[in-house]
Amino acid sequence: MIFFVKRRALSTVVTTALMLTAVAVIGTGVVAWSNSNLRTFENNLVTSASNNTNKINEMPIIENVVLVPNYPLFGINSVNVTVTNVGTVGFNVAKIQISDSTQSITKTVSGGNVTPHSSKLFSYSYQWIHGSVTTIQVTTARGTTISAQAMQP
Amino acid sequence: MIKRRGISSVVGTVFAIIALASTVGYITYSMNVLDNYNQSILARNQQATDVTKEKFQVSSVTMVNNKLNITVVNTGSLPVNFTKIWITNKSATTTAWVKSYTPVNSLAAPGNTLTNLGQGVSTWLNTNYPYHVKLVTSRGNTNEFDVNSVSTAPLNIQLLATPPNVPSAFKTQLIMLVTNNSTGTVTNLVPNSLATYGTPTATCTPGTVSPTKYNTLSPGSTAVFTWGVTATGGNSASCTLSASLQNGYSKNFANTTITTSAISLSGTTYSQNTGTLTINYTTFQFTQGSGWIPDWLIPKGTATGFNMTLTNSDPVRTFYLSNKTAMIMQVAGSASTTALYAAKSISSAGAVTAYTCTGYPTNDYCVSLAPGQSMSLYIGANGPSLGGTVKTPSQVGPTSALLLVYGKFDTSRGGNGLIYAQDIPFIAVYLY
């Protein structure tokens, strides 16, 4: 006489355990990876949105340009540029370029922070030419560029 | 068979929920960021719109107590707040004289006028110096103009004579048109006195300019100044006048030429041009030995001398008076006439000095009268170049006195110039 006893095989338990472990490990990994990616995207989005929003909101103007003659003393002229913040967020003047038809200089600015509704004077030696148009280009740290022209007859 | 939910499905669901929640959270956050971004763009657009809506005009600029006194009209739909005034002394060439000030009480409501802007500036300004002024608003708009100086660039100046050809001694009108072709408002436009350009052959005498000043001239606008100019000269004589602006740009001026034409007067047409010689009726007076009397009531039958002012209205030629010049008196109702001839002079006591002189022609054309000039004409001699007196008619009543002037237009007394004769009527007297 033959008896068939129904028994759960050990291999099934092991297999299930292995499967659960694998699912847990892989799932955790995938979730962690996804979260990491999401965090990265989020950070990028935050940075980009913040920069662009601030760039949109920053409103620098070149309020006045003075071509200063100084030749009796040193033989070198200079340019005074007054930059005013008429917007609602502060900005940093990063670069000022002064040029005319024959020459061009670019000055990297340190300490060019201009708070809202305030002005800052930037002065640089520059041999401007009588009767020639001098172009002043101001670039902020966020990349906003404004320009103005002046001429001494 | 027993149906049981496998543990793997639970785990999968958990992960699915986590993934879904993360995705939803990210999308929500993205939407918020986009919303902020959108708000920023809207705000920036609003600011840009406000900048364009902000409009104002400088209506006048004067110097009061050596300080700027600027009047500004807010022509826009938004309040205007002036945050800075830049003042540059343009006469300082070897160094930069640039000052900036923050004005007080500098808010102008829409449609309102802001006055006394600049009076709070502490710096003393010289009223004779040219200054360049820049107004800056809180929105970054600027308005620049010059005080006591027309511009740093030449303006469009035209000078027109209407008409450009005039008879000698007539007046023409000069019109100076100044168009502000710059981008900034110019202030205090005052024309210089008209200057003679080149070598004129006619004499041009300008009158006063009207108006004397324009307080401001906005870009694209035109100022109009006018002068009356009297031009005197011969045929085709001309003068060129030059107009410019005080403190104007160097060599920024305009010229115009006025040409004169002489009034035609020949021996055959002189009768058509009467009126070249005139008398001033109000200067008519007589003497009968007791001083000059400006009256038309004259005693009859008495030796009388007359005096009046004779003017040569010819613009270019000198008139030489002949000794045959006389006045004919005739009493109403009488057929007889009395002639009284020109004398060199008659004293208030009635003494007649004969109209004589040396040289050629003998005792004639002794007195000359330059263009536009006047002289005292004495009438009362008893004949050409004689020194006797003449009595007034013996009748009484209204009497006409006709002055007959003889002479010639010439360059010298003895020349063969243009003979000329003219009667000057309607001297009325009454003999009693």
> Coil, strand, or helix at residue A95?
strand
> Which of A38, A66, A70 is facing B22, going by the closest CB pair?
A38
Same domain, A72 and A125: yes
pLDDT above 70 coverage of chain B, percent: 92
B371 within some domain: yes
Same domain, B138 and B202: no
pLDDT for position B270: 46
Query: Any idea what the Cα angle at residue B176 is, between residues B170 and B179, rounded to 5°?
Result: 165
Dihedral of the alpha carbons of A13, A19, A21, A26, in degrees to the nearest 10: 180
> Coil, strand, or helix at residue A36?
helix
Same domain, A66 and A137: yes
- The gap from C-alpha A134 to its chain's centroid, in whole angstroms, comes to 28
Q: Domain span at residue A65?
A: 58-150
pLDDT for position B152: 59
Q: Which of A57, A84, A100 is the last residue of a domain?
A: A57
Q: Which of B125, B147, B169 is the last residue of a domain?
A: B147
CATH number for the domain that contains residue A132 = 2.60.40.10
> Coil, strand, or helix at residue B106?
coil
pLDDT for position B339: 92
Same domain, A52 and A87: no
| DSSP run (H or E) holding A40 | helix A10-57
Same domain, A126 and A99: yes
B5 within some domain: no
B33·A45 Cβ contact <8 A? yes
- The most confident of the ranges B28-32, B250-254, B285-289, B330-334 is B285-289
Q: Is the peptide bond before B361 cis (omega within 30 degrees of 0)?
A: yes
Same domain, B208 and B118: no
B136·A19 Cβ contact <8 A? no
Same domain, B237 and B370: no
Q: How confident is the model at residue B406 (pLDDT cuts 50, 70, 90)?
A: very high
Q: Considering only alpha carbons, which residue of chain A is nearest residue B39?
A: A53
Same domain, A34 and A78: no
Same domain, A108 and A44: no
Q: Which of B244, B261, B278 is the last residue of a domain?
A: B261
B15·A86 Cβ contact <8 A? no
Among candidate residues B359, B140, B152, B247, the one with its CA nearest the CA of residue A146? B140
pLDDT in tens, B77-90: 899 999 999 998 87
How many Cβ atoms from other residues are within 10 Å of residue B361's Cβ?
13
Within the 39-78 window of chain A, which residues sit less than 8 Å (CB to CB) from chain B?
A: 41-42, 45-46, 49, 52-53, 56-57, 59, 61, 63-64, 66-72
pLDDT for position B268: 42
B40 within some domain: no
Q: How confident is the model at residue B400 (pLDDT cuts 50, 70, 90)?
A: confident
Number of domains in chain A: 2
Cβ burial of B10 (10 Å; 0-12, 13-18, 19+) is exposed
Same domain, B228 and B307: no
Among candidate residues B252, B242, B176, the one with its CA nearest the CA of residue B214? B176
Q: Considering only alpha carbons, which residue of chain A is nearest residue B21?
A: A35
Q: Which of A19, A34, A57 is the last residue of a domain?
A: A57
Substitution target in B8, B20, B132, B141 with the highest count of A β-carbons within 10 Å is B8
DSSP class per residue in B276-332 = SEEEEEEEEEEESSS--B--SEE-TTSB-EEEEEEEE--SS-EEEE-TT-EEEEEET
Rounded to a whole number of angstroms, the distance from the CA of A94 to the nearest CA of chain B is 20
Q: Domain span at residue B367?
A: 270-431
Same domain, A62 and A126: yes
pLDDT for position B373: 87
pLDDT for position A141: 92
B8·A23 Cβ contact <8 A? yes
Same domain, B105 and B200: no
Same domain, B287 and B318: yes
B325 within some domain: yes
> Coil, strand, or helix at residue B99?
strand
- The gap from C-alpha A34 to its chain's centroid, in whole angstroms, comes to 27
Same domain, A84 and A113: yes
Q: What is the mean pLDDT of residues B285-299?
A: 91
Q: Residue B22 above 90 pLDDT?
A: no
> Which of B34, B40, B98 is facing A66, going by the closest CB pair?
B98
pLDDT for position A1: 52
Same domain, A137 and A105: yes
B108 within some domain: yes
B136·A63 Cβ contact <8 A? yes
Residues of A whose CB is below 8 A from B95: 68-70
Rounded to a whole number of angstroms, the distance from the CA of B37 to the nearest CA of chain A is 6
Same domain, B74 and B128: yes
CATH number for the domain that contains residue B196 = 2.60.40.2310
Residues of A whose CB is below 8 A from B8: 19-20, 23
A69·B95 Cβ contact <8 A? yes
Q: Which of A57, A73, A98 is the last residue of a domain?
A: A57
> Which of A31, A64, A70 is facing B134, going by the closest CB pair?
A64
Number of domains in chain B: 3
Same domain, B296 and B410: yes
Q: Is the peptide bond before B154 cis (omega within 30 degrees of 0)?
A: no
Sign of the Cα pseudo-torsion (B287, B290, B296, B298, in order): negative
Substitution target in B13, B37, B38, B182 with the highest count of A β-carbons within 10 Å is B37
> Which of A20, A31, A56 is facing B8, going by the closest CB pair?
A20
pLDDT for position B170: 86
A34·B96 Cβ contact <8 A? no
Same domain, B190 and B125: no
B140·A57 Cβ contact <8 A? no
Same domain, B275 and B162: no
pLDDT for position B45: 87
pLDDT in tens, B195-204: 888 888 988 9
Q: Residue B296 above 80 pLDDT?
A: yes
B167 within some domain: yes
- The position carrying tokens 């299930």 is A16
pLDDT in tens, B113-159: 999 998 888 888 887 777 888 999 999 899 888 776 665 567 889 99
DSSP class per residue in B12-67 = HHHHHHHHHHHHHHHHHHHHHHHHHHHHHHHHHHHHHHHHHH--EEEEEEEEETTE
Could you say which residues of chain A have pLDDT below 50? Answer: none
pLDDT for position B64: 84
B25 within some domain: no
Same domain, A139 and A65: yes
pLDDT for position B354: 92
pLDDT for position B390: 92
ipTM score assigned to the predicted complex:
0.71
Q: Which of B147, B175, B199 is the last residue of a domain?
A: B147
B140·A67 Cβ contact <8 A? no
Q: How confident is the model at residue B267 (pLDDT cuts 50, 70, 90)?
A: very low
Query: Any idea what the Cα angle at residue B19 is, between residues B14 and B20, rounded to 5°?
Result: 95
pLDDT in tens, B340-372: 999 999 999 999 999 999 888 889 999 999 988
Substitution target in B4, B81, B100, B139 with the highest count of A β-carbons within 10 Å is B100
pLDDT in tens, B206-259: 999 999 988 778 778 889 999 999 998 888 889 999 999 887 777 788 999 999
Q: Is the peptide bond before B130 cis (omega within 30 degrees of 0)?
A: no
Same domain, A48 and A81: no
pLDDT for position B86: 92
B394 within some domain: yes
Among candidate residues B96, B145, B142, the one with its CA nearest the CA of residue A67? B96
CB pairs under 8 A between A and B: 86
Same domain, B71 and B187: no
Residues of A whose CB is below 8 A from B138: 86, 117
Same domain, B415 and B292: yes
Same domain, A136 and A81: yes
Sign of the Cα pseudo-torsion (B117, B122, B126, B131, in order): negative
